[in-house]
Amino acid sequence: MAVKHVGQLGNGSKVLVVMRTLPGEPTSALVIPTAALKQTYHDELDSLVMKDESQQAYEFATILNVRKFSDGSTMLPSLHAKGLMKKVATSEVTMTPATSKDSWVQLDKLNEIIAEQRGVGIDELALTPSGKPGKTVGTANEAPAQDGVLSDADLAAQYRAQADALYKEVQQLRKQADELAPKTTAKKTAKTDA
């Protein structure tokens, strides 16, 4: 079975790929080096990345932003606050969806393939504030992230974008559910004592 969102760096260390490209930085990715994780986080993330919802997600970040660790903390902000995510060049990451090395592909090449299939540029693969992939533009007054860690403002913007996208998806799913089986409200009957 091929598994999305898993890879390794050039030195062979395993990573989970949180975002394949970053807004305004199409040649950068956000990863979680798994060796740096405490065992419970490692196990919970390993289990999560294998779930259908993660495998169907465009970016693993959208799942991490709504799921919680067993300690009750939301995964994405917790990983950020603890400095467990790292910004790296997409050319440094090899995606390893299966154990067979012939299925492995460098992330920068994978992004080129995805962009070609979608008929867009690589700079249009990152999630936009709407939560959908599209062209993103960095502003000139933004300070670059230091030590590969996103600033709080960058992370907050990503959270808002992901929350907006999830909210829209919830509305769409509720509408579809109501079309399939409209809600029926039971009428309350007044009790009378005789």
75-124 tens-digit pLDDT: 999 999 999 999 999 999 999 888 778 889 999 999 898 888 888 888 87
CB 69 within 8 A of CB 40: yes
Q: In the prediction, which pLDDT does 144 show? A: 42
Q: Where are the domains of the chain?
A: 6-180
**Least confident segment among 26-35, 56-65, 136-145, 170-179:** 136-145
Above 60 in pLDDT, residue 145? no
Neighbours of 146 (CB within 10 A): 9
| Confidence bin at 135 (pLDDT 50/70/90) | low
What strands, in cross-sheet order, belong to the sheet with 105-106? 86-89, 28-33, 14-19, 6-9, 93-95, 105-106
In this model, does residue 140 exceed pLDDT 50? no
pLDDT tens by residue, 32-55: 999 989 999 999 999 999 999 988
Please tell me which residue, 185 or 12, carries the higher pLDDT value.
12
Distance from C-alpha of 71 to C-alpha of 50, rounded to nearest angstrom: 20
CA distance 64 to 103: 25
Which pLDDT score is estimated for 129? 57
**Given a cut of 60, is residue 189 above it in pLDDT?**
no
Position 15 pLDDT exceeds 90: yes
- Encode pLDDT of 150-177 as tens digits: 677 777 777 777 777 677 777 777 888 8
Residue 70 or 138, more confident: 70
User: In angstroms, rounded to a whole number, what is the distance separating the alpha carbons of residues 19 and 80?
Assistant: 13
Burial label for 63, CB within 10 Å (0-12, 13-18, 19+), is: buried
